[in-house]
Amino acid sequence: MFWGWIVNVILLGPQGSGKGTQAAELETRLGLRHIASGDLLREARELDTPLGRLVKKYYDAGELVPDDVVIELIVQEINKHLNGQGVVLDGFPRNVTQAQALDKALASNGSQIDKVVELVAPLEVVKKRLTGRLICRTCGAVYNLETKPPKVPGKCDLDGGELYQRPDDTPEAIEKRLQVWAKENEGLVNYYQSRGILYKVDANKPVEQVTQDIMTILKRDL
Ligand SMILES: [Zn+2]
């Protein structure tokens, strides 16, 4: 489907709010390019380009990739899709400093973030989803005791591999991550609200309903 105009979107929301799932839906249905910051960095690392080699250097040293490098990768991706329908960012920016730097970089490329959609879910719901998460040791497929249980308990549907819980998915670790997230998110929400491009969606609904709500927002006033 092609709607004839370009929209660049950021999805905000805590881990477990379904950002990745919704971004993938928007890619399938609207042709928006889904840019997950984690995937973007993993892909860049494999590339034999100056930027790719730089990312690899940070990875190999076990260091965080600096914001300006991540932003340059994102701007490159957006430029690649200028004739498409735009992008949906998932996992970046994580704080106001990054958001401001991204806006500046996009502006100097004649581009911009058009809409920011915050997926709002009660933290209790998110915690439950995150503590129920199980991963296949063989293929990395992700299951969830709450929302997507495996057919046979403890075994991967795809290859029968053993399912395990990530060590950083304990209730204590999740609680800590969500606290850090909430603080950063508040700043981001205020920032995009002051730009007049922030929209909220109730993410505590079936996936299909949430997708419909987001699409309604994206199509509005265009
Ligand atoms: Zn598997």
Please state the domain count of the chain. 1
Core vs surface per residue 109-130: b (16+ CB within 10 A) or e: eebebbbbbbbebebeebbbbb
Residue 47 sits in a domain whose CATH number is 3.40.50.300
In a domain, 1, yes or no: no
In a domain, 4, yes or no: no
Instruction: Check if the beta carbon of residue 96 is closer than 8 Å to that of residue 188.
Output: yes
Give 155 Cα–ligand 1 centroid separation in angstroms.
8
Instruction: Check if the beta carbon of residue 114 is closer than 8 Å to that of residue 7.
Output: yes
* Strand, coil or helix: 12: strand
Burial class (CB in 10 A: 0-12, 13-18, 19+), 221: exposed
Angstrom distance (rounded) from CA 11 to CA 186: 14
Q: Which residues are catalytic?
A: 19, 94, 133, 166, 177
In a domain, 49, yes or no: yes
In a domain, 33, yes or no: yes
In a domain, 69, yes or no: yes
pLDDT of the chain along its 222 residues, tens only? 445 567 899 999 998 898 989 999 999 998 899 999 888 999 999 999 999 999 999 999 999 899 999 999 998 888 887 666 789 999 999 999 999 999 999 999 888 999 999 999 999 889 988 888 899 999 988 898 887 899 999 999 999 999 999 888 888 999 999 999 999 999 999 999 999 999 999 999 999 999 999 999 998 876
Provide the domain limits for residue 119: 9-219
For ligand 1, an ion, list residues with CB under 5 A: 136, 138-139, 141, 156, 158-159, 161
In a domain, 173, yes or no: yes
* Strand, coil or helix: 102: helix
In a domain, 135, yes or no: yes
98 is in an annotated binding site: yes
In a domain, 3, yes or no: no
Contacts for 58 with CB less than 8 Å, ≥ 6 apart = 64, 65, 66, 69
